[in-house]
Amino acid sequence: MIQGTLTAMVTPFKGGEVDYERLTAHVRFQIAAGVDGLVPVGTTGESPTLSHEEHQRVIEHVVQAAGGGVKVVAGTGSNATSEALSLTRHAKQVGADAALMVNPYYNKPTQEGMYRHFMTIADAVDIPIVLYNIPGRTGVTMNPATVARLAAHPNIVAIKEATGSLDIASEIASLCGVTILSGDDSLTLPIASIGGKGVISVLSNLVPQRVKALVDAALGGDFATARRHHLELFPLFKGMFVETNPIPIKTAMAMLGHDTGELRLPLCEMSAANKKHLEHLLREHGLLQ
């Protein structure tokens, strides 16, 4: 089962190229912290700016570096069904445990179009699929009824719910038994309260043990402890989105020596004002001396 704390991994760059040495170090850091899974080349991994060759190599590298220590859920989504199919086949071939597949973006398919897109891939590749519902990035929302239709397929096992709507998450839960993972750190606890099973987290790039403590408490039914962790982390959850993800998380990681902070255009460095705010936030939470 895909559940618990899964880290939406950044893709480290150095001199314009993927920094595979730092990527290995980050995988080891995450595993040592006890996370339940790694999610390379999703939104946080700047997948739109990676070439197909880089995309595939990053997935293969993370699988090898993880060495079976945690589940690897590879980002393989695309707005072209043929391309998503090719990326998913490759992920299966190199040993990924599951595939994270975003709604087709830009071309704005209908609900039937999305259903056929995901069913085509689920029928063709025998790998667990995590749907990824994020209208803020894709311009289209997968309706709960469509999620329920797709969840009838044995290969479609979970959904990363990033609509920002607890009502949508609740409706999905009422319609089918698909595993719901929060796609927003700040909604991890609310979604757990209606049966969610964890989070694909941005903040866990930086403080994996603290995010895991929240998730483990919630999944263990200790909502008092989970609420305490949630409220302590809430300013950091929001702080990672003061600018477009992954600009803040990579900037924060650079401040703490975990990344170069380098981004690929069209993403660029954080504004001076927001950088100062982020630095203050990290100091407030005892992360930056």
Question: How long, in residues, is the chain?
Answer: 289
Catalytic site residue from 71, 92, 115, 160:
160
**Is residue 115 annotated as a catalytic residue, yes or no?**
no
Cis amide bond preceding 246, omega within 30: yes
Tell me which residue has tokens 């999905």. 172
Contact (CB, 8 A) for 268 and 274: no
Residue 47 CA to chain centroid, in angstroms? 12
Tokens representing 56 are 């595939």
Give Cβ neighbours of residue 176 (< 8 Å, ≥ 6 apart).
Answer: 147, 148, 151, 152
**Is residue 132 annotated as a catalytic residue, yes or no?**
yes
Note the helical H segments in the chain: 20-33, 52-66, 81-94, 111-124, 135-138, 144-151, 166-175, 188-193, 208-219, 223-239, 247-255, 272-284
Give Cβ neighbours of residue 136 (< 8 Å, ≥ 6 apart).
Answer: 162, 164
Give Cβ neighbours of residue 41 (< 8 Å, ≥ 6 apart).
Answer: 9, 11, 47, 50, 55, 58, 59, 74, 75
Catalytic site residue from 71, 92, 115, 132:
132
Residues annotated as catalytic are 132, 160
